[in-house]
């Protein structure tokens, strides 16, 4: 089950929101301009990911964009891109961190999850020590916002993949 954790960007030990509730995840990410949805998974395993998901992609992806498969990319580098980026998780799990305004939103995504990162929002990800996740990445061209590396994220600066997975539990936890 997907997990969203939110911290102030200068207080990674202070959890503002922690939830596995789909509606709460959608609402909170929408508040910062991001998106979250679930797409159907194809039957079978392995093989050509783009071919397996061609029908889903054709029905939902259009316009000026690039589509590619990204697997197990290790990255503790905060970066931003000039367009909208969608990640459709088809295998494994990883945490995507969105640094939106003065908050960091960590979204632990699993197969079927689709995370939309708005243009210009800096982000990084952590797939754990043995990153085995696979995503179909859809990048839409952006207008005017330049991309690139923002900074290197220090290991342990925010809770990582293993810590978030180990601390999972049901329900929403709010603190103030």
* H, E, C per residue of 124-152: EEECCCCCCCEEEEEEECCCCCCCEEEEE
Give me the CATH topology for the region 3-174: Jelly Rolls (2.60.120)
For residue 98, pLDDT beyond 90: yes
Band (128; pLDDT cuts 50, 70, 90): confident
Residue 25: the pLDDT is 97
Judged against a pLDDT cut of 70, whether residue 147 lies above it is answered with no
Segment holding 42, helix H or strand E: none
pTM, rounded to two decimals = 0.84
pLDDT score at 2: 92
Does position 175 have pLDDT exceeding 50, yes or no? no
Cα(13)–Cα(159) distance, integer angstroms: 8
């Amino acid at each position: 089950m997907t997990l969203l954790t939110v911290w102030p960007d200068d207080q990674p030990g202070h959890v503002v929101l922690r939830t596995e509730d789909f509606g709460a995840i959608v609402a909170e990410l929408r508040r910062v301009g991001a998106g979250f949805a679930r797409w159907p998974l194809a039957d079978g395993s392995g093989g050509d990911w783009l071919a397996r998901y061609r029908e889903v992609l054709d029905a939902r992806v259009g316009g000026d964009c690039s589509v590619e498969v990204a697997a197990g990319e290790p990255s503790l580098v905060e970066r931003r891109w000039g367009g909208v980026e969608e990640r459709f998780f088809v295998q494994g799990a990883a945490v995507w961190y969105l640094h939106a305004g003065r908050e960091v939103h960590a979204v632990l995504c699993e197969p079927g999850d689709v995370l939309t990162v708005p243009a210009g929002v800096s982000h990084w990800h952590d797939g754990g020590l043995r990153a085995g996740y696979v995503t179909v990445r859809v990048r839409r061209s952006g207008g005017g916002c330049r991309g690139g590396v923002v900074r290197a994220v220090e290991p342990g600066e925010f809770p990582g993949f293993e810590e978030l997975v180990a601390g999972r539990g049901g329900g929403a936890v709010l603190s103030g």
